[in-house]
Amino acid sequence: MATDDNSQVPPSQNDSNAGGIDPIWSSSRTARQIYELGEVEKDIGRLLSLAASSISLLTLPQTDAPEDGLPHGGERDERFVEEVSEYFERLDNIQIAMRSSLAHIRQSRIAPSAIDAPPPGFVPSALGVGLPPSTHTHTHAHASASSVSASAGPGDAHAHTPRPKTRGLQEERVERDAWKGMLQALTKLKDVRARERQEQEQQGTRDTDTDTAMQE
């Protein structure tokens, strides 16, 4: 059921949206909720400051430090009433904003029925998810299989039929790393055998020179 984007928004939010804020914060209800949560964070800081000053106003004037700058006499009582009134006003605004944010989260969450289930018999890949083969690939593979079947004998047609690619990206990477490892191992083996062959040739040359010198 579609709802108006401005519905269920507290008056304080509408007033703040009408003020001079960045237009991005009024682009959607979610953006406004994020902006309001930022304002709630500021209000909480102010709330703690009001609580501290209210407690300071409840103490005896004789205990005030010179740098506190707290009023005395009847002005002290009036200041206390103002601080407490602002405290409860901000506390009320905070709880309204928090309730509105929770209501927005409940309204915006995705219903389980909106998630499509996989088709029957679907078995995901163990090492990754691959891209489905395209229609062009299927057509090309089918045409290649037909040409191979026509040129080969009845017994060889099944052996040369290409299979669809079912491996995922992670499986392709594992195979690539395996081939790289095999190539490196074969390259090292080739280098070792080349060095051994070169050493044998050098040893044979030295033996020949020694025999020639002894014969002379």
Block mean pLDDT (10 aa), the chain, length 216: 42 49 80 84 89 82 68 80 90 89 76 66 60 50 52 51 62 85 93 92 82 73
pTM above 0.85, yes or no: no
Q: Which helix (H) or strand (E) holds 1?
A: none
Q: Taking the C-alpha atoms of 205, 208, 214 and 216 in order, what is their torsion angle to the nearest 10 degrees?
A: -100
Task: For residue 26, give the 3-state DSSP assignment.
Answer: helix
pLDDT of residue 136: 47
Distance CA 64, CA 52 (A): 14
Distance CA 72, CA 56 (A): 12
Could you tell me which of 44, 45, 56 has the C-alpha nearest to residue 83?
56
Q: Which helix (H) or strand (E) holds 89?
A: helix 74-108
Q: Which helix (H) or strand (E) holds 56?
A: helix 29-58
